[in-house]
């Protein structure tokens, strides 16, 4: 029905009823008929929604989960070990009963997107030989009140029925993006989300009303802080497992797994690629291998080479190369800006520069790729100050050569400001140990300016001492548009200014 017609009817019907009452007409039968028709339409819509959910469920039944083992998931050794231990409560049920251990009701997998939370849930079903029923938080969200709650009931009922039908002792229910229905409840009027969450809490409380089949709920989210405390408490989600970004060893393992079905050249060094892909998730690493194969196909080659993998890292991190044409003067300014970053990086962290490039990718006109020396999780004040100086290197280089800055430094300044904020929160500034929320904006801005102005002064001084490196690197970069880390370090050695 068109929207305008609905609006006309909404306005016309009340007026009609008022008119009929005014002339003395008995409107009670009409009101009863209207209520019955409305209820019938509502039930029809609800059944249609449930039929869609049931159809999706049947589709999942037919396809079934892909058989996946923990060995096929790269990295995440600690997370996999913790999950196996939790799953042993399903497998060794009689043994844990003797020790009086209460079986776990739920496991919450948290961590950044693309780290393998869904894969680990599938592997859990294979590990325990359980029925696997998967769903997403968005499947429970409907405009009609009560539909989400009924779908929760249907999900648990389906898991029990399938386990009984397939003669399985246990079933695993997996809900992805559980924050959609498990968000914090607010006071006031009840929402559809609240009813859905309440039903989920009720089902989890009644999971062990019967011993067989045993049901374990596994949920995944990358926004754990948004979940309601009634859902995350012990007795519902008993174990919270962090599925974090993989370290270097984990990244190499993931690359090896995704490279098994690809023709890698004998010269490919996956250790080097694992080092260059610092901070990548499992999904990004899979994309690196896939993009490398695409580059190989474009060049009509038979094997994937090291350069294809390096190119694919740039693409996943920065985006595809664009056809944006820059003037010679703009190109020179971008080159000076990027060399400022690279020189500062090499001064404060020798051997950290992997590549300096002028090729436009995404929104960037140029970029510097860095190689971290080692995995690091704690940062000192000097380390963070060095990081700020690297970020300020581009703007400082522009000031030295042009006497002013450009808009190309906006992202660099944003990064520097975030690092200063981290220093303040960690008690690494002259403010001491403070609660940032209790410090006035004026005090914060004053401290911020003192730190950044002092580090900018030091950055300019270090770059001015290396003008010859700028001049030599600039010519090569403008001509070839790419400067490798080894080429760049050779220029440092020639100038004898490389720090000891």
Query: Measuring CA to CA, which residue among 162, 228, 149 is closest to residue 192?
Result: 149
Supply the DSSP symbol for 207: G
State how far the Cα of 473 lies from the Cα of 343, in Å rounded to an integer.
10
DSSP state of 103: P
Assess whether the previous peptide bond of 213 is cis (omega < 30° from 0). Answer: yes
Buried/exposed code over 236-262 (b: 16+ C-beta within 10 A; e: otherwise): bbbbebebbbbbbebbbbbbebbbeee
Phi, psi of 218, rounded to the nearest 5 degrees: -115, 130
CA distance 352 to 278: 12
Continuous H helices in 64-103: 77-91, 93-98
At 216, is the secondary structure helix, strand, or coil? strand
> CA 369 to CA 127: how far, in whole Å?
40
| Integer Cα distance of 16 and 11 in angstroms | 9
Best CA proximity match to 345, nearest among 393, 385, 400: 393
Q: CA neighbours within 13 Å on the CB side: how many for 487?
A: 15
Q: Are 220 and 178 in contact (CB under 8 A)?
A: yes
User: Is 338 assigned a catalytic role?
Assistant: yes
The distance from CA 459 to its chain's CA centroid, rounded to whole angstroms, is 33
Q: What span, in angstroms and rounded, lies between the C-alpha atoms of 236 and 71?
A: 28
The CB-based long-range contact list for 268-277 (8 Å cut-off, 24+ gap) reads 268/304, 268/305, 268/306, 268/309, 269/306, 272/306, 273/306, 273/309, 273/310, 273/313, 274/248, 274/249, 275/248, 275/371, 275/372, 276/310, 276/313, 276/354, 276/369, 276/371, 277/251, 277/313
Kindly report the number of other CB atoms within 10 A of residue 88's CB atom. 15
At which residue do the structure tokens 């049901």 appear?
215
User: For the chain, how many helices (H) and strands (E)?
Assistant: 18, 8
Among residues 275, 338, 346, 398, the one annotated as catalytic is: 338
Which active-site residues does the annotation give? Answer: 338
């Amino acid at each position: 029905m068109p929207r305008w017609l609905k609006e006309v009817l909404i306005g016309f019907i009340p007026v009609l009823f008022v008119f009929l009452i005014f002339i003395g007409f008995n409107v009670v039968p009409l009101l009863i008929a209207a209520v019955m028709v409305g209820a019938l339409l509502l039930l029809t819509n609800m059944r249609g929604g449930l039929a869609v959910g049931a159809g999706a469920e049947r589709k999942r039944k037919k396809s079934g989960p892909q058989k996946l083992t923990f060995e096929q998931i790269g990295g995440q050794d600690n997370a996999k070990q913790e999950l196996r231990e939790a799953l042993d409560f399903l497998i060794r049920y009689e043994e844990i009963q003797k020790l009086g251990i209460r079986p776990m009701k739920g496991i919450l997998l948290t961590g950044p997107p693309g780290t393998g939370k869904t894969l680990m849930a599938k592997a859990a079903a294979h590990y325990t030989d359980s029925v696997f029923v998967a769903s997403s938080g968005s499947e429970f969200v409907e405009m009609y009140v009560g539909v989400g709650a009924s779908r929760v009931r249907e999900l648990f009922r389906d898991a029990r029925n399938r386990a009984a039908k397939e003669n399985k002792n246990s079933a695993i229910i997996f809900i992805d993006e559980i924050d959609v229905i498990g968000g914090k409840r607010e006071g006031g009027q009840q929402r559809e989300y609240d009813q859905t969450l309440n039903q989920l809490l009720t089902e989890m409380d009644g999971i062990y009303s019967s011993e067989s089949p045993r049901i374990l709920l596994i949920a995944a989210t990358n926004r754990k802080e948004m979940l309601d405390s009634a859902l995350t408490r012990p007795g519902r989600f008993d174990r919270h497992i962090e599925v974090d970004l993989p370290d270097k060893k984990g990244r190499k393992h993931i690359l090896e797994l995704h490279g098994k079905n690809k023709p890698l050249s004998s010269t490919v060094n996956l250790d080097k690629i694992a080092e260059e892909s610092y901070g990548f998730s499992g999904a990004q690493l899979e994309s690196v291998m896939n993009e490398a194969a695409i580059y190989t196909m474009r060049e009509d080659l038979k094997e994937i080479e090291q350069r294809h993998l390096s190119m694919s890292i740039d693409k996943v991190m920065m985006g595809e190369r664009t056809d944006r044409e820059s003037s010679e003067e703009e190109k020179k300014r971008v080159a000076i800006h990027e060399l400022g970053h690279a020189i500062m990086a090499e001064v404060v962290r020798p051997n950290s520069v992997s590549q300096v490039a002028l090729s436009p990718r995404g929104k960037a006109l140029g970029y510097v790729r860095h190689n971290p020396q080692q995995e690091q999780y704690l940062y000192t004040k000097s380390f963070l100050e060095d990081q700020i100086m690297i970020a300020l290197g581009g703007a400082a280089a522009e000031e030295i050569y042009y006497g002013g800055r450009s808009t190309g430094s906006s992202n660099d300044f944003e990064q520097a400001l975030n690092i200063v904020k981290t220093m303040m929160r960690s008690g690494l500034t002259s403010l001491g140990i403070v609660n940032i929320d209790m410090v006035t904006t004026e005090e914060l801005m004053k401290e911020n300016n003192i730190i950044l102005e002092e580090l900018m002064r030091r950055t300019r001084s270090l770059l001015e001492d290396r003008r010859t490196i700028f001049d030599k690197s600039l010519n090569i970069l403008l001509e070839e548009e790419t400067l490798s880390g080894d080429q760049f370090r050779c220029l440092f050695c020639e100038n004898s200014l490389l720090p000891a």
